[in-house]
Amino acid sequence: MTDPTARPGSTAAHSAVRSPIADRLVLAPEVGDALASGRPVVALESTLISHGLPFPRNLEVARDAEAAVWAAGAVPATVAINRGRILVGLDERALVELATTEGVLKAARPSLAAAIAAGGWAATTVSATMIAAAAAGIEVFATGGIGGVHRGALGRPGRPEPPTLDISSDLEELARTPVAVVCAGPKAILDLPLTLEYLETRGVPVVALGSTEVPGFYSRRSGVSAPLSVPDVVAAARLVDVHLGLGLGSGILLGVPVPDEDALPFDQARAAIEQATDEADRAGVHGPALTPWLLARVAELTEGASLRANTALIVNDARVAGELALELLRLRPA
């Protein structure tokens, strides 16, 4: 029997791909065609499908995000891992499997090799999706919210808990992989000021679209000033084009506020997050399980309102990412 995790050779790799990871990539036909003919492509991640939202909402969001990218005029490429391959672009059957299978692994940069070696399904986080996107030649990627510096990473003022140093590998990936990541802000369960400091230190531009504040994920505002702001997608594309063109090696983060009609009031979001974070501390939840646990608990505490916001913001980010991918190509006439 052949080993399903064996190196597949160069069968599926797109011609412009040079990274060694390219040997592991399997591009969906529409993605390969779009990349080969210079049409816009948007990468989408899959951890929010397998670990971020409950069924059936996760499947609806996965489909709606892809539809939003198509509607903007770009080709969606949802990324996940199966049978030792990194799939760039999933068909309907794969989306359903990811949304319904128990025990799907969560693959980030540190767990990417283990996820590939395990041979089954793994969902990719922001860091792993950026790696796949860059290897495939995709410049634009949409997610809900990036991971970052967790509350309590440096300890908690006036409390005995030691520092956890829990900082998402998403931040290091943004520092080292040249992809534009469209999100609704770092996830609201995080320490936002520390996350921004980390990104600044590591040389990652953080740009808010149509706002002077960093978008607050569940809420439109966060109360924290954005390091950079642009008024619209055209201006965002100009900035992304210059950044990627400089060859600095880093990514760029674009924050888009959640649509107004589905946003959570800032105070409601904050109260639920504070309670959920305290409970997670007491229950000893940590490591890769922490983010999914907090998102699920906030959904319970807000009686589903956070799920509505999370759903709406993911689809909105996918739409904006599609528009950004189109604008970027317009800036580079063939």
Which amino acids are annotated catalytic?
45, 187
Per CB under 5 A, 139 contacts Mn ion: no
| Residue 126 contacts which entry, ligand PSU, Mn ion, none (Cβ below 5-8 A, type-dependent) | ligand PSU
Closest CA to 128 of 64, 97, 172, 93: 172
# residues near ligand PSU by CB under 6 A: 20
**Residue selected from 14, 24, 51, 57 as contacting ligand PSU according to rule CB under 6 A:** 51
Per CB under 5 A, 166 contacts Mn ion: yes
List the interface residues with ligand PSU, window 143-162 (CB under 6 A): 143-145, 147
Q: Which region among 115-123, 163-171, 181-189, 318-326 touches Mn ion (by CB under 5 A)?
A: 163-171
For Mn ion, the closer of residues 166 and 323 by Cβ is: 166
Respond yes or no on whether the N-terminal peptide bond of residue 110 is cis (omega within 30° of 0). no
For ligand PSU, the closer of residues 197 and 232 by Cβ is: 197
List the interface residues with ligand PSU, window 94-133 (CB under 6 A): 108, 125-126
Instruction: Name the residue with the smallest CB distance to Mn ion.
Output: 166
Strand pairing of 252-255 and 206-209?
parallel
Strand pairing of 206-209 and 85-88?
unpaired
Distance of alpha carbon 88 from alpha carbon 19, whole angstroms: 15
| Residue 45 contacts which entry, Mn ion, ligand PSU, none (Cβ below 5-8 A, type-dependent) | ligand PSU
What is the nearest approach in angstroms of ligand PSU to the Cβ of residue 75? 21
Per CB under 6 A, 277 contacts ligand PSU: no
Read off the tokens for 283. 């229950």
Distance of alpha carbon 3 from alpha carbon 268, whole angstroms: 50
Instruction: Name the residue with the smallest CB distance to ligand PSU.
Output: 144
Distances (CA, A) of 76 to 222, 246, 293: 29, 26, 28
* 178 in Cβ contact with 134 (< 8 Å): yes
> Contact positions toward ligand PSU, by CB under 6 A?
45, 47-48, 51-52, 108, 125-126, 143-145, 147, 168-170, 288, 291, 295, 310, 314
> Contact positions toward Mn ion, by CB under 5 A?
166
